[in-house]
Structure 1
C-alpha cells in the first residue's frame, strides 16, 4: 500500500539533500547575485514605461541558463523541466511560484544579451568567481580548437554564390531567412566535411578550467586564434598546442615575448620526423591531452551542437556552455570529483 503524507514535498526534499544534490553545491559556492549584476550592467533590464508584465529577475534567468547548458536543454525542454522537476525549481528559486519562465522568455533574455553585445559577460563573470575561490590559472596553458556542427543548409547553386557574398536571395520569405544560417561555413578535417563553427579554447594545465575562448566560422584556421585565446594571466609561461599551430615565425615571436613554446612538430612531404621529434611530440601529448578532457566534457553537455542560427548567437551559446562547464568543474574541484549527479 502506498503511504500518503501531508509533508511529502518536504520529505522528498530532505531525501534529495541526503542523496547529494549537486545543484546545492553550486548554490553554496557560487554568488549568482554577482553574475546577475554583471549581466544587468552589460545588458540593462528593459524599461517598463510602456507597461506589460515585468520580466523575471535576472538572477532567476541566469540560474535557468546555467541549468539549460548543464543539461543541454532546448528552450521548450527547459520550460517543461522547470514545471516538472523539483531540484530545478528549488535551484532557480521558483519552488513555490505559480509563474515559470516559458520558452519565449528564455529566447527574449538571450536576445537581450546578443543585442547588447554582452555575449561573453556571463563567462567572464564566472571566471571572476573562480578567482575568488583561489582557482587562478596555473602550470601553463593548453590551446586547442574543435569544430561545432550547425544544421546543414540546403541551398541552390545561385543561392550559395549570394551567401558567399554575405547576401540573401531576394525571393526568400522572412520566415525562410530566419531559418537560414549564412554565417556558418564548410571545412574539412581528416578528409571529412563539416558545416558550422569553430571553438578555440585555452585551458590551464592545473585545473582544466577554460580561461579564454574564441568562436569563428569553421573555415578559419586554428592558428588565426592563438593570440586571441592566449591567457597572459597564467602564473606559468608554458604554452602547449598540437601540430595545427605550427608556425616558425610565430613561435619565434612567442619565445621573444617570454613564452616557453611546446608545439608538436609536423612531418613534411618527404621529410619524416626524426626520433627526437617523435619523442618530443609524445612528451607534449601527455600534457596536451588534458584539453581533450575539456572538449569531451563540453560534448557531454551538448556543446558540439547548436540550437541557434548566426555567428552572434553561436558566440553567446558557446560562451554560456563554457561558463557552465567551468561551474561544473568548480563543483568537481570542491567535492573531489563528484560530478555524476549532473547527468540528466
Structure 2
C-alpha cells in the first residue's frame, strides 16, 4: 500500500457521496477483476522493451469507465484528470504519477479488439454469474434495437461506413447497426448477443439468440411466423411471440388482448436495453466498421449484466 499524497487527501469540510462515486463503488465490488485480468495478461506487453507498461487492472478499469460513461479515448483521459472519484476507482494518485494519455488508452483498446476481448469478457461474465448460483430460467425474450451511425459523407473517404446500412422503422429512416438480444425472462440478463447491419430483419438471427433449453420464447410481432426456427433450436419451447391483430382494417380484439398479456412479460427486455442505451449511453456507434462496434457491444452487455444483478450478486 502506498502512502496517500496531498493530491488525494480531502480537506473539504462538507462532502457528499455522489451518484457517480456510489455507482463506481458498487461495480468495483461485483466485478471479478483478477479473473478478467487473467484473460488479458497472456497478450499484454511485458515491458521487455520500450516504456514500462501500466498495470493490466488499471488499464482494464479505464476501459470499463469508457463503456459506462460513453467516453472516447481523449475524453477518458480528460475525465480522469477532472474526476477524483474516477481516479480513485482506477487507482491513480496525481501526486505520484500522471494519467495514461489518450494514445496509451487507444492502443490498449486496439489490443483488446484484436483478441476479441469483448466477446470473451461477455462469455466469462455469463459463466461467472452461473457459478454464483444466478442461473438462467426456462424462458427467453428476444428483441432488437438500432444503434445509430453517422450518415454524413464529410470524411476522408467521402462515403458512409460501408458495413452499416439504413432501414425504415415506421415512417422514419435510420442508418447504423442493429443489436439483437436474447434476455432471460426471470433474471432480466442478456445471455445471447448478435450485431448486424441495421437492414437485417429481427427474425433473421432468432436461432442465434436461443440457448436451447427454453420452454417459452417471447418476442414482438417482428418474430411472427418463426415457430419452425424456435422448434428446431429449442424443441421444448412454446412460441409466445405477438401476433398481428389487425387484418384488412378489422381489429381482432381477442388477439389484441392476448398480445397485451404477452407484452407484460416481453416488456422486460426494454429494461435491459434501457440500461445499455440510457444508463451507459450506447445510442451511437463510436468506431468505423461492424467488428469494433460489436466488440464494444459485447463488453457493454457483460457489464450491463453485472449492473442489473449487482444487488443479487452481492447477496449471493
State how 1:144-223 maps to structure 2 within 5 Å: 144-154=143-153, 176-177=156-157, 180-223=160-203
Give per-residue Cα distances to partners, 1:217-265, cap 9 Å, x unaligned: 1011111111112134x6x522111100112552563597111221000
8 A contact 1:255–1:261 mirrored in 2: no
Distance 1:13 1:36, change over 3 A: farther
Moved more, 144-153 or 68-77: 68-77
8 A contact 2:113–2:295 mirrored in 1: yes
The secondary structure found in structure 2 opposite 1:137 is coil
User: Paired residue for 1:274?
Assistant: 252
State how 1:306-321 maps to structure 2 within 5 Å: 306-321=285-300
Normalization by structure 1: what TM-score? 0.79
8 A contact 1:30–1:129 mirrored in 2: no
8 A contact 2:153–2:159 mirrored in 1: no
User: Paired residue for 1:53?
Assistant: 51
Mapped pair 1:285 → 2:268? no
The secondary structure found in structure 2 opposite 1:202 is strand
- The structure 2 residue matched to 1:83, chosen from 76, 81, 84, is 81
- The structure 1 residue matched to 2:223, chosen from 245, 250, 254, is 245
Partner Cα separation in structure 2 for residue 140 and residue 209 of structure 1? 12
Partner Cα separation in structure 2 for residue 178 and residue 111 of structure 1? 24
Partner Cα separation in structure 2 for residue 102 and residue 64 of structure 1? 11
Distance 1:15 1:32, change over 3 A: farther
Partner Cα separation in structure 2 for residue 176 and residue 211 of structure 1? 38
Alignment length (residue pairs): 307
Distance 1:123 1:177, change over 3 A: farther
State how 1:24-35 maps to structure 2 within 5 Å: 24-35=25-36
Distance 1:7 1:89, change over 3 A: closer
User: Paired residue for 2:140?
Assistant: 141
The secondary structure found in structure 2 opposite 1:9 is coil
8 A contact 2:202–2:223 mirrored in 1: yes
Q: In angstroms, what is the RMSD of aligned CA positions?
A: 3.0
Give per-residue Cα distances to partners, 1:113-146, cap 9 Å, x unaligned: 2222333122222223322332222252211000
Structure 2 portions without partners, runs of 5+: 1-5
Displacement, 1:48? 4.5
Partner Cα separation in structure 1 for residue 125 and residue 148 of structure 2? 25
